[in-house]
Amino acid sequence: MDKRIGFIGVGNMGSAIIQGLIESNMTNEKQIYGFDYNSTILKEKALQFGFNIGKDNKNIIEQSDIVFLAIKPQVITEVLSEISDFAKPGQIFISMAAGISIEFIKYFFNFDPKIIRIMPNTPALIGEGMTGMATKSPVSYEETLFIKKLLSSFSIVEEVEENLLDAVTAISGSSPAYVDLFIESLADGGVLLGLPRDKSYIFATQAVIGAAKMILETGKHPGILKDMVCSPAGTTIAAVHQLEKHGFRNAIIEAMIAAEKRSKEMNNLFEK
């Protein structure tokens, strides 16, 4: 690939994408340019991955064909104001700022820019990410396929309508935290029942990994797989009864509703 790829922001998600691109041989470190306001993180990640350090955000724009905006929503206005005058019509900008619409980003440019929005998640750090992706004109079909291939170097990628990215934030962008909380709770339960803490985390984590892989690899409905474990009058159905009694499903759904709501609020906050 002869495209030069720039990163404004090389924190957890930015560096996860850089790692995925390099390890998959989609590109090499000499074709990647990165800048971050945190000079310590910038130097650390450049040393780790070998990419070119940009002098500033403007320099990243000047050097790149594709630009990842790996930044938080709180700084999106500042960054767009800084870079928009140096952008070129042929460049593709990929934003992962939660709740910030394509139309809001386009407002800062004096031409109709090519903007793609993505919502990745932290398992991208180990090449097991899940990414939602939304595009709008003037991004072409061929460009969409190309960017999807880039993103596939570190995650599974699903295209959705932009108005569904808030839901993607709730179901996959934020959900690693829900799963981490679940695993921590399982481990706490194991400790309560007498298991050592380190072994509790191993049992809990592998159980979650295995259950998730069974859904993906068998293609069976989660309810069917659940029923396979629930023997009549057995231990599992007794535990499931307690989860249902205490609103386990409803708590998860309400958490997702809260996450989606907050994502929409952030969009409204920054677009005013």
- CA distances 73 to 37, 219, 252, 272, Å, are 15, 36, 25, 13
> What confidence score (pLDDT) does residue 134 get?
97
Would you tell me which CATH number, out of the four given (3.50.50.60, 3.30.70.270, 1.10.3730.10, 1.25.40.10), belongs to the domain 175-267? 1.10.3730.10
Average pLDDT for residues 120-131, to the nearest whole number?
90
High-pLDDT (> 70) share of the chain, %: 98
5-165 under CATH 3.10.180.10, yes or no:
no
Mean pLDDT of the 109-138 span: 93
13-23: average pLDDT: 91
Average pLDDT over residues 46-74: 95
- The pLDDT of residue 125 is above 70: yes
Q: Is the pLDDT of residue 227 over 60?
A: yes
- Pair 265, 99: CB distance under 8 Å: yes
User: Residues with Cβ < 8 Å from 26, sequence gap 6 or more?
Assistant: 1, 20, 149, 150, 153
What is the average per-residue pLDDT within 231-246? 96
Please give the pLDDT value at position 272.
Answer: 54
Q: Is the predicted pLDDT of residue 77 greater than 80, yes or no?
A: yes
Name which of 42-51, 191-200, 258-267 the model is least confident about.
Answer: 258-267
Q: Mind spelling out the 3-state secondary structure of the chain?
A: CCCCEEEECCCHHHHHHHHHHHHCCCCCHHHEEEECCCHHHHHHHHHHHCCEECCCHHHHHHHCCEEEECCCHHHHHHHHHHHHHHCCCCCEEEECCCCCCHHHHHCCCCCCCEEEEEECCHHHHHCCEEEEEEECCCCCHHHHHHHHHHHCCCEEEEECCHHHHHHHHHHHHCHHHHHHHHHHHHHHHHHHCCCCHHHHHHHHHHHHHHHHHHHHHHCCCHHHHHHHHCCCCCHHHHHHHHHHHCCHHHHHHHHHHHHHHHHHHHHHHHHC
Average pLDDT over residues 206-219: 96
Per-residue pLDDT for 120 more than 90? yes
Both tokens assigned to 197? 């803490």
pLDDT at 1 (0 to 100): 67
Q: Inform me whether the pLDDT recorded for 218 exceeds 60.
A: yes
Q: pLDDT at residue 258 above 70?
A: yes
* Residue 197 clears pLDDT 70, i.e. is over it: yes
**Structure confidence at residue 270 (pLDDT):** 64
Average pLDDT value over all residues in the chain: 94
Average pLDDT over residues 250-255: 96
Residue 26's pLDDT is what? Answer: 86
Mean pLDDT of 65-76: 93
Sorted by where each begins, the domain ranges of the chain are: 5-165, 175-267
- pLDDT of 255 strictly over 80: yes
